[in-house]
Amino acid sequence: MSAPPHPDSETQPIRHGRPRPRRRFGPVRWSVALVLGAGAALATLPDLVGLDAYSPFAQLNAFRPLLVAALAVLVGIGLLITVFARRFWPVPVVLALVALVGASLVLPRTTAEATPPAGGSTLKVLALNVYEGEADPDSLAALIDGQDPDIVSIPEAGGRYKSELEPLLEPLGYELHSSISPRRDDVAGNTIAVADRLGDVETRVGDDVQFPYLEATGGGLGDLRFVAFHSVAPVPRSVGQWREDLGTLSEWCAGDTPAVVAGDFNASLDHSVFRDAITGCSDAAAQTGNGLSGTWPTWAPEWLGPQIDHVLSTEGIVAESFETHLVPGTDHRAIVTTLRVP
């Protein structure tokens, strides 16, 4: 007669407990992903819902190219995390969607938009914000001498800075005009330097903006109106004035006569306020595929900084070239472009 099986022997039936229910993280992880995605979209795409007209989005939106690049890095990090935590995948997916929308808005500016028409004449334009009249006059004069522009827009240059620059540029064949007297601070002024070869060009001051602009007409400009322009910066207390200043641009972009507007607009093509105001105008940098060349601040690499300085022109006028230059004493880069005027 055999002995009863030992309780620990292999013949003892194995008792299985009830399977533990799987924890469901789906709703939680998707909620986290959507919250992060909404925050990323709010920071990167506020102009799509008009929020860039208000602080703090007016300031933040100027950095959209940088924010899109930062999102791409975060997406890469998120994908790396999913290798070890597969349930994390909704986060990089949502962030990638926001990054793709942002990239679709900025990357087209790296491709030339149009081919300059044959014939016509050229107008070479230089523009530089001289930072409250602190840019080195000798360096600016040397840049003008080397580039030989037909006309120069100099924001934040009033009568005082004009008096310093004039003896340096007159021997080079330029006549200078300023929108304010030497008694006012340079930051409020705009100055134009006109090459003598343009002949008898007349200027008028427009004081319907915070910083009076200068409009040049006649002479070698023909029917063209050239405007040296500077808007206020969209700091929190001045966003309303910034919108009003930019709204003035429609006077030239939507006007009946050809126009070129150059200077510091304190706005990039990522601002809906700016895009709406310049309907009818093209941007020289974007036309030549240089729409992501930063013009401010100079301490940041050119590929990093916002492009807030522009040369705008009405339909039919096409930019042939665009480049930037450094001038000591200012936090803006000088921009130089050659326009083909039919």
Would you say 105 and 64 are in contact if contact means Cβ atoms under 8 Å apart? yes
Does the predicted TM-score (pTM) go above 0.85? yes
Taking only the tens place, the pLDDT of each residue in 161-180 is 999 999 999 999 999 999 99
Q: In this predicted structure, which of 82-86, 107-111, 183-187, 247-251 has the lowest mean pLDDT?
A: 82-86
pLDDT band, very low/low/confident/very high, at 6 (cuts 50, 70, 90): low
> How far is 241 from 80, CA to CA, in rounded Å?
45
Contacts of 171 (CB under 8 A, 6+ apart): none
| pLDDT score for 8 | 52
Contact in structure between 102 and 44 (CB atoms under 8 Å): yes
Exposure string of 122-132, with b = 16+ CB inside 10 Å and e = fewer, is ebbbbbbbbbb
Confidence band (pLDDT; 50, 70, 90) for 114? confident
Confidence of residue 80 (pLDDT cuts 50, 70, 90): very high
Across 14-18, 189-193, 303-307, the highest mean pLDDT is recorded for: 189-193
Q: 32 or 155, which is more confident?
A: 155
Q: Is the pLDDT of residue 338 over 60?
A: yes
